[in-house]
A = this chain, B = another copy of it.
Amino acid sequence: MSDSREQILEQIKLQGDLVRQLKGAKESKEKIDEEVARLLALKAKLGGDVAPASQKFTLKTPKGTRDYGPQQMTLRQGVLDKIVQVFKRHGGEAIDTPVFELKEVLTGKYGEDSKLIYDLKDQGGEILSMRYDLTVPLARYLAMNKISSIKRYHIAKVYRRDNPAMTRGRYREFYQCDFDIAGTYDPMLADAECVKIVSEILDTLEIGDYVIKLNHRQLLDGMFEACGVPAESFRAICSAVDKLDKSPWADVRKEMVTEKGLDEATADRIGEYVRLSGGTELVEQLLADPKLKAVPNAVKGLEGMQLLLKYCSIFGLDKRVRFDLSLARGLDYYTGVIYEGVLKAEPGSRSSPAKSAQQNGEPAEQATVGSVAGGGRYDNLVGMFDPRGKAVPCVGVSIGVERIFSVLEARFAASKVKLRTNDVEAYVASAHKGLHEQRLRVLNQLWDAGIKAEHSYKLNPKLLAQLQHCEEHQIPLVVVLGDAELAQGLVKLREVTTRQETSVKLEDLPAEIKRRQQA
């Protein structure tokens, strides 16, 4: 249709040489101008600035980000659809917020992690940052619109300048799927429902066996107090405990003592508690613990856990949840229940986690890895945005879908199953030359009947090439046009897998295709 870029670049080169030659020969201004105009016209043909410099950069997406091709999008859409179904089953309504916020909105909400926030350049105007999660934007939205109760879900990308481990599903740009319940309600009813939602989602996605760890920030604070941690160190010690899912106790203890200045006896007392995990019997044991009994925060936290475990039991989750004192969660804003859904097997070793762990030279008990959901209660965050400090208590859960995508992508790669990435029901093919207008007529008839249909964009494609396209793209039906049949008002309808062909009246074609779909 138009000259190729190579041809134009070649012409530009020649024309540039000519202009230099004329200038060198001091030709008339008129003549030089004429040739310069030709040169500029050639450059204009390239459809923009000619920026040869722009050819030099590496063709890539920004660090920690990736494109999703059709295969990945199909997988992703399938996962997100299932998650949304669960959110809606629990009465969730959708909202969306801008991808960036005024920088001040994010300031002071993430503790140590604030250094990972992406800032926008100051181009005159407001100072903006990319959202770091969907929770702070929700709190801003609730305060700004004076909403005191909502059950909302939000599926969107968030941004963290982290050191990504992309093979393990960790990115700088990644999806979060959040469900939160805001409102002043009676204890643990909404919290238990969030735990139920995590289990429904992990069940429906069938990504393997999992456990939902539960803990309570008030209990953690009470336990720190009982162990003798100074109050101003609670958050720092909490963030050290949070590392227990990746590091052994010895390393965490070292961080507490050398970096965070805790005395060794205090650290050891914490060590006794954080290795505990269990169910209601553990709550009762701790309620009888003399050190904890003396601390009101610890008692309140334990009573909360007791109620939560009771509701989880009604929801049929006894075998799914585990009260775990080592669970701390990184973010500063939690004030009550916290939880985390953890896959028991590493991606790719679903059937035999113990074996895989042993192959890696780790003990089988360590096979519990891979947080795929997390959340908790944050009762004071909305109040930080309200001019009068009016609080809206919230509890919510965030599904770590990137990790889930990674697990499923690895599984699909291993199974060598190719996902269908289009929904085309019928391909319209020419049996011989000169039929492209007839093809367009048949396509138009199918589209207007709501049938998903496509064809080759070549005037005279080979029949074999058209049939191969259908096999490659898993299109079930081919409408084959030929002059002889068309003269009788007929077309051939061919089933791709069986290669069976039937003659169908052109006018009946849409109805026949729909009938085959249902069969």
A contact set with B: CB distance below 8 Å: 1-2, 4-6, 8-9, 36-38, 40-41, 44-51, 54-55, 57, 59-63, 65-70, 73-74, 76-77, 88-102, 104-105, 107-111, 118-123, 125-126, 128, 130, 140-141, 143-145, 150-152, 157, 159, 161, 173, 181, 183, 185-187, 189-190, 192-193, 196, 200, 218, 230-232, 234-235, 300, 304, 311, 314-316, 332-336, 377-381, 383-385, 387-391, 393, 421-424, 436-437, 440-441, 444, 447-448, 450-454, 457-459
Contacts and interface: CB of A to CB of B under 8 A. Distances in A.
Residue of A122, A143, A334, A421 ringed by the most chain B CB atoms within 10 A: A421
Given A67-B97, A95-B68, A384 B121 contact: no
Given A47-B332, A104-B54, A145 B69 contact: yes
B234 A98 contact: no
A472 B372 CA distance: 35
Contacts of A46: 380, 384
A181 B67 CA distance: 18
B61 A73 contact: no
A50 to B, nearest CB: 8
B125 A118 contact: no
Copies of the protein in its oligomer: 2
Contact of A70 (B95, B125, B189): B95
- CB-CB nearest 8 A-B residue pairs: A41-B231, A185-B457, A40-B232, A91-B454, A49-B108, A70-B93, A5-B383, A65-B98
Contacts of A122: 121
A185 B118 contact: no
Given A37-B232, A457-B186, A48 B2 contact: no
B44 A231 contact: yes
A93 B421 contact: yes
B140 A59 contact: yes
A96 B457 CA distance: 24
Given A41-B234, A70-B95, A101-B62, A90 B316 contact: no
B48 A336 contact: no
Contact of A157 (B5, B99, B125, B311): B99
Contacts of A74: 94
Contacts of A9: 389
Contact of A422 (B4, B88, B235, B335): B88
B190 A126 contact: no
B62 A126 contact: yes
A385 B457 contact: no
B120 A54 contact: no
Given A90-B447, A120-B119, A144 B59 contact: yes
A109 B48 contact: yes
A110 to B, nearest CB: 8
Nearest to A38: B231
Given A314-B444, A458-B185, A70 B421 contact: no
Nearest to A74: B94
Given A235-B44, A447-B90, A60 B95 contact: no
Contacts of A40: 231-232
Contacts of A66: 98
Residue of A61, A92, A389 ringed by the most chain B CB atoms within 10 A: A61
